Amino acid sequence: MSVPTATPTVAFTTPPNYAARLAHLLALKGFNPISSPTLIVQPTPSTISALKPYLLPPPSLDLFSAIAFPSRTAITALSAAAADINHPLLSPYGDAFIIAALGKDAELMDANFVHKLCSNPNRVRILVPPTATPSGLVEALGDGRNRRVLCPVPVVVGLVEPPVVPDFLRDLEAKRWVPVRVNAYETRWAGPGCAKQVVERIEEGALDAMVFTSTAEVEGLLKSFKEFGLDWEIAKKRCPKMLVAAHGPITAAGAHRLGVRVDLASSQFDSFQGVVDALHTEISRLS
């Protein structure tokens, strides 16, 4: 059994726009956090242009009954696309309009966000499913009755698109929704050298754990490993004490599909706190 260092070093591959939050939670638990993003996740001029037609007059959003946000970046992408539109995106009257998001992502759907969406806040219904997964979101939305739902999702660049989004859209169709996919932001590989810090610590045998928060991060890391002459099997042999923690079951399943064995997956995954707590418990047990 490997004994963790006095201050366990934990690397994570979360994109930069989420990294500070995870680093803070890890530090609070006494870990030495190493941010090594393997993805860049952000809106771009082209994705904002793709999203904007759905927000313009008459208003176009009145053709929909819901927006399903699968990520925090999906919400910020819509806000960015709407920033220079000087009128509410929805008519004040009509059937209830659902905006749905996962876990702590829903914090972004505050009063200002709702006001930008509609001058009549009573028309807007905020939906946060009890299970913070795309399938949980679909279940919470219920029977679509052939209504349209806008789905601001990522376009994946430089990596293979994980099955999460296609499965999400297919599940919506199975619930009689009519999902309209719009590529609202990019998930882009961070480049050949993105795993450099992880590789250095693996070579030193000085990495106690890796945390993955999405399947694409795992693929991004493995793709960068190749640039350093590594694969996952070699990495584990060089640093056998390294634990692998996944943020929820979807990330764990995706990692497994890519050949990365996960030691623990958080059962609470509405925020990063769940995976940090699970990792702290496991490292404490091993020490």
Beginning with the edge strand found earlier in the chain, give each strand of the sheet holding 264-265 in spatial order: 32-35, 9-12, 209-212, 243-246, 264-265
pTM of the model: 0.93
Q: Look at residue 1 in the predicted model and tell me its pLDDT.
A: 36
Tokens 């099997």 belong to residue: 233
Q: Answer yes or no: is pLDDT of 2 > 60.
A: no
Distance in angstroms (rounded) separating the CA atoms of residues 269 and 211: 13
Q: Look at residue 3 in the predicted model and tell me its pLDDT.
A: 39
Q: Answer yes or no: is pLDDT of 68 > 80.
A: yes
HEC sequence for the chain: CCCCCCCCEEEECCCHHHHHHHHHHHHHCCCEEEECCCEEEECCHHHHHHHHHHCCCCCHHHHCCEEECCCHHHHHHHHHHHCCCCCCCCCCCCCCEEEECCHHHHHHCCHHHHHHHCCCHHHEEEECCCCCCHHHHHHHHCCCCCEEEEEEEEEEECCCCCCHHHHHHHHHHHCCEEEEEEEEEEEEECCCCCCHHHHHHHHCCCCCEEEECCHHHHHHHHHHHHHCCCCHHHHHHHCCCCEEEECCHHHHHHHHHCCCCCCEECCCCCCCHHHHHHHHHHHHHHC
- Per residue in 17-26, pLDDT (tens digit) is 999 999 999 9
**pLDDT band at residue 277 under the 50/70/90 scheme:** very high
Size of the chain in residues: 287
**pLDDT band at residue 6 under the 50/70/90 scheme:** confident
Map out the domains of the chain with their CATH numbers.
Answer: 9-38+190-286 (3.40.50.10090), 42-188 (3.40.50.10090)
Q: Look at residue 71 in the predicted model and tell me its pLDDT.
A: 96
Q: Say which amino acid occupies 160.
A: V
Q: Look at residue 131 in the predicted model and tell me its pLDDT.
A: 94
- Per residue in 220-256, pLDDT (tens digit) is 999 999 999 999 999 999 999 999 999 999 999 999 9
Q: Answer yes or no: is pLDDT of 4 > 70.
A: no
Distance in angstroms (rounded) separating the CA atoms of residues 282 and 133: 24
Span 9-33, average pLDDT: 98
- Per residue in 32-44, pLDDT (tens digit) is 999 999 999 999 9
How many Å separate Cα 78 from the centre of its chain? 16
How many Å separate Cα 68 from the centre of its chain? 14
The overall average pLDDT reported for the chain is 96
Span 46-72, average pLDDT: 96
Distance in angstroms (rounded) separating the CA atoms of residues 247 and 227: 26
- Per residue in 159-200, pLDDT (tens digit) is 999 999 999 999 999 999 999 999 999 999 999 999 999 999
Distance in angstroms (rounded) separating the CA atoms of residues 220 and 179: 28
Q: Answer yes or no: is pLDDT of 128 > 60.
A: yes
